[in-house]
A and B are shown apart, each in its own frame.
Chain A
Amino acid sequence: MAVWQTVELVAKQPETPTAATLRFSPDGWPGHRAGQHVDVRLTADDGYQAQRSYSIASAPDDGALAITVERLDDGEVSPYLVDDMAPGDALELRGPIGGWFVWDVADGGPLLLVAGGSGLVPLMGMLRRRRAAGAAVPARLLLSARTVQDVLYADELHALEAGEDGPEVTITLTREAPPGWSGYDRRVDRELLDAVAWPPAERPRVYVCGPTAFVEKVAADLVALGHDPGLVRTERFGPTGGG
């Protein structure tokens, strides 16, 4: 599906006060790989077009296509997707896209996933794929979020972690931690990565996704800790690109 296709929103589900998951069922969807994204295009009445990329949240095994979108207050596309678009409304979409920032069971592990905010979305696709395949590949997720309310898929993350061969989930809250919070409460730094990551000698496959500054800091810190740059894959997102 390399060309633009008009698709209707099938269902929408709020995830946090600022993010929602949107489900589509494109005709002829060829299936996707965990970590891939789609391009979304909106056209205004006057013909003005805006295009963004959004990571696929659903596992390839789900059948349907789900993206999770974080609303950027000054965004051109995300406020419509999160607040206004309703089931039955249509947009243009192309994909699945990407072959670099992808993971499947055959790629192995151990797996280290590091997410900044909604950078969790493609990594959640990988964790969902891992669960759907019943894979025992050791996996750790480090998620940086502003507050506990900003944590996407919180219930599902807890359930995944508690399940058989579940991933180890570490959350750090950078802006505000609730009373009694026993986890980390600071930005991801080298010391935190050293504590959470697999030792470099185990040669983990690392996927880092988030805002540009977050991704570049984490990737540099991981390499400084001795991780092989060739095993650290990154995906940056920003207001013009998507996420």
Chain B
Amino acid sequence: MERLDGNAAAGLLREIFAREMTVAIETCAGCGSSEPLGAVHVYMGGPGTVLRCPHCTMMLMCIVRVGDELHVDLGGVRSIELR
């Protein structure tokens, strides 16, 4: 599956957070490194959209659309700094 980056998920992230999120800084719960969400790795070819840490590949977020519902798993994100 082709690796994209956070820019490709920007529309979906805005749907969830109701603001531009590619400039928000996430901190990975796995390795503690921080990156703008625009620079994290994104995989969109499966049933959901998966955001992974570009340093340790930890799954930061997994977003799955089921009908009209969005299921958002934020388990790999320690914090998000909104800018």
Chain A residues within CB distance 8 Å of chain B: 2, 37, 39, 53, 94-95, 97-101, 212, 216, 233-242
Contact = CB atoms under 8 A, between A and B. Distances in A.
Contacts of A101: 7, 22, 38
Contacts of B38: 98-101, 233
A190 B22 CA distance: 29
B13 to A, nearest CB: 9
A53 B11 contact: yes
B14 interface: yes
Contacts of A242: 8
Interface of B: 2-8, 10-11, 14-15, 18, 20, 22-23, 36-39, 42, 44-45
Given A101-B7, A234-B39, A241-B4, 10 more contacts: A2-B14, A2-B15, A37-B7, A100-B36, A100-B37, A100-B38, A234-B5, A235-B7, A236-B8, A242-B8
Nearest to A53: B8
Contacts of A241: 2, 4, 8, 42, 44
Contacts of A95: 11
Contacts of B2: 212, 236, 238-241
- Across chains A and B, which 8 residue pairs bring their CB atoms closest together, nearest first? A100-B38, A100-B22, A238-B2, A241-B8, A39-B11, A99-B20, A99-B23, A97-B10
B22 A94 contact: no
Contacts of A100: 6-7, 10, 22-23, 36-39
A241 B22 CA distance: 15
A95 B12 CA distance: 11
